[in-house]
């Protein structure tokens, strides 16, 4: 391939920057602008300001080099500074869109990357040998079931060229974040990276957006549409029994959602964050395989998310010893059956757990899951808890247990929360029992209600009946805290409500319950 080249002559005209004093022209006449106070700043300070702007732009969900390109078009002096400062060119974003300009298709097997992706090549060239972040995503405003087919201006040839371009610079890539419409496209794009040493890579994220419609995702597997596509192999070793080349020594963050993997060879180690999401039933993890994966990071892992990835449809034997993940502070579990949750809590110990997210995507009632939470976790140590679509029997407790165990499960849970320091509780489409028992007096006595120490409460409901239940809960809490007049009960730092229309006027009178109230009506 020929070496990269670029015509750096000015081709832009910036007619008005802020005022007449800032009139700038960079056309072929190379006119100069009037002297401005900023011209007195030394180049080092200007570059520092430019770098801060580039970093701020790069901190968006998908950072890009728009700011850096803008700076390089202001005037000749700034252009010279910008294009020679590698710190401004460390974020490369490609956004796929149906409206994308038509890209040239290489006519021969040997081609110049610059002919197909001039902007991307320019960014990589200007970043010199610095670490860079790569983002590939698509325009979320595109509609239609066959969105990928709408990208007529970006076809498989372009995908191949772009992946080959990124692979040629992979040795200095710091972050890899790819979201595409189908898992086949993600696997295809990532294939050139298999077996390449990436010593600087610390973050790897791949997502197939069609997994958001889970039934469609399962259908693509069932129909065998991707039968000729092998699993993604970037995160696996070729020979687990060999000496292993340490291909990804700096990798700390892995997120893989909706992408088929060969789990037996999935071998990232010493991770701090692991997010595994959305696998079809026939490709999910067993507890034995999950234990092997987590063993590799048992002394470093801090955040773990398992979202519809476990294949546990019946009771599993209780292990002789639980694997201790001693540094995990955040756990999120999305399950389709209660056996998945039970196996996880029975198989792993989380002594430092501070944030717990549970989401039920199946049809099972969640009583057993809450029992396992009470049994296997240090509930009193939790700071943040989120329950999504959790439904329990409001009145049922453990038969034949102690007085505490015989009380309703949610009441048991709230009593233990009240002994600890729970700061934030999110209830997303959960049963009304949670709010009902929050207004019960806690076991500490003194007339206080449960969770009086809570700082933030977020409640999301989607029916008129449920919305009226939220209003009733708030009104009762206000009455319980009002003694001979003014409200003297617990005050939240933040109360966020997402409710159905029809109860707007009933909430306004409850402002005393929180310092900040945010209400969204659907």
List, for residues 145-188, the tens digit of each pLDDT value. 445 444 566 777 778 889 999 999 999 999 999 998 888 889 88
The size of the chain, in residues, is 522
pLDDT of residue 202: 96
- List of the chain residues with pLDDT < 50: 1-30, 61-62, 141-146, 148-150, 222, 224-226, 240-244, 398-400, 445-446
Q: How far apart are CA 522 and CA 470, in angstroms?
A: 15
Q: How far apart are CA 406 and CA 401, in angstroms?
A: 6
Mapped onto helix, strand or coil, the DSSP state of residue 428 is strand
Residue 362: which of 312, 400, 295 has the closest Cα?
312
Q: Long-range contacts made by residues 285-291, C-beta under 8 angstroms, separation at least 24? A: 285/309, 285/310, 285/311, 286/310, 286/311, 286/312, 287/312, 287/316, 287/343, 287/347, 289/263, 289/264, 290/347, 291/323, 291/347, 291/348
Q: Which two tokens stand for residue 168?
A: 């040629």
Residue range 438-455, pLDDT digits in tens: 888 765 544 577 888 899
Domains of the chain, by residue range, sit at 1-88
How many of the other CB atoms lie within 10 Å of CB of 106? 16
Q: Which two tokens stand for residue 138?
A: 């698509």
pLDDT of residue 479: 86
Q: List beta partners, residue 135.
A: 93, 177
What is the Cβ-side half-sphere exposure of residue 163, based on CA atoms within 13 angstroms? 19
- DSSP string across 460-497: E--SHHHHHHHHHHHHHHHHHTBSSSSB-S--EEEEEE
Residue 323: which of 349, 344, 293, 341 has the closest Cα?
349
What is the Cβ-side half-sphere exposure of residue 96, based on CA atoms within 13 angstroms? 23
pLDDT of residue 21: 27
pLDDT of residue 495: 93
At residue 59's C-alpha, the angle toward residues 58 and 61, to 5°, is 100
pLDDT of residue 243: 36
pLDDT of residue 107: 62
Q: How far apart are CA 56 and CA 280, in angstroms?
A: 38
Q: Are 197 and 173 in contact (CB under 8 A)?
A: no
pTM: 0.81
Q: How far apart are CA 348 and CA 306, in angstroms?
A: 13
Mapped onto helix, strand or coil, the DSSP state of residue 208 is strand
Mapped onto helix, strand or coil, the DSSP state of residue 445 is coil
Mapped onto helix, strand or coil, the DSSP state of residue 50 is helix
| Relative orientation angle of helices 43-58 and 76-83, to the nearest 10 degrees | 60
């Amino acid at each position: 391939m020929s070496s990269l080249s670029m015509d750096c002559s000015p081709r832009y005209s910036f007619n008005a920057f802020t005022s007449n004093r800032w009139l700038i022209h960079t056309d072929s006449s190379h006119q100069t602008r009037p002297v401005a106070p900023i011209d007195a700043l030394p180049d080092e300070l200007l570059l520092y300001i430019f770098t801060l702007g580039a970093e701020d732009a790069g901190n968006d969900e998908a950072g890009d080099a728009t700011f850096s390109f803008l700076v390089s078009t202001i005037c000749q002096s700034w252009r010279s500074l910008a294009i020679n400062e590698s710190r401004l060119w460390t974020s490369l974003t490609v956004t796929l869109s149906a409206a994308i300009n038509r890209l040239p298709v290489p006519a021969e097997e040997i081609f110049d990357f610059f002919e197909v992706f001039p902007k991307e090549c320019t960014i990589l060239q200007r970043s010199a040998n610095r670490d860079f972040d790569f983002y590939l995503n698509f325009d979320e405003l595109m509609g239609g079931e066959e969105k990928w087919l709408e990208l007529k201006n970006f076809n498989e040839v372009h995908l191949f060229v772009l992946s080959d371009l990124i692979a040629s610079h992979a040795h200095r890539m710091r972050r890899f974040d790819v979201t595409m419409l189908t898992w086949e496209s993600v696997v295809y794009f990532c294939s050139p990276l298999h077996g390449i040493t990436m010593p600087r890579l610390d973050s790897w994220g791949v997502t197939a957006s069609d997994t958001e419609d889970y039934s469609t995702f399962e259908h693509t597997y069932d129909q065998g549409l991707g039968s000729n596509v092998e699993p993604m192999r970037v995160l696996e070793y070729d020979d687990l029994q060999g000496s292993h080349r340490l291909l990804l020594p700096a990798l700390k963050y892995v997120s893989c959602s909706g992408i088929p993997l060969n789990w037996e060879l999935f071998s990232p180690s010493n991770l701090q964050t692991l997010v595994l999401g959305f696998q079809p039933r026939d490709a999910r993890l067993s507890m034995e395989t999950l234990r092997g994966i987590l063993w590799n990071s048992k002394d470093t892992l801090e955040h773990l998310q398992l979202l519809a990835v476990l294949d546990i449809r019946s009771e599993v034997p209780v292990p002789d010893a639980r694997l201790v993940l001693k540094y995990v502070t955040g756990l999120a579990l999305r399950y389709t059956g209660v056996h998945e949750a039970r196996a996880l809590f029975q198989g792993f110990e989380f002594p430092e757990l501070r944030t717990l997210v549970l989401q039920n995507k199946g049809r099972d009632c969640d009583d057993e899951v809450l029992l396992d939470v009470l049994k296997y976790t240090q509930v009193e140590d939790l700071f943040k808890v989120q329950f999504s679509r959790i439904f329990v029997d409001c009145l049922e407790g453990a038969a034949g247990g102690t007085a505490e165990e015989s009380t309703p499960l949610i009441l048991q849970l709230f009593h233990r929360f009240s002994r600890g320091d729970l700061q934030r509780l999110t209830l997303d489409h959960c049963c009304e029992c949670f709010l009902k028992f929050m207004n019960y007096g806690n076991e500490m006595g003194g007339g206080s209600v449960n969770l009086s120490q809570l700082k933030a409460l977020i409640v999301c409901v989607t029916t008129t009946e449920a919305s009226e239940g939220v209003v009733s809960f708030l009104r009762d809490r206000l009455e319980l805290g009002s003694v001979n007049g003014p409200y003297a009960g617990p005050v939240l730092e933040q109360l966020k409500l997402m409710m159905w229309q029809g109860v707007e006027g009933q909430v306004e009178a409850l402002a005393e319950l929180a310092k900040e109230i945010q209400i969204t009506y659907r």
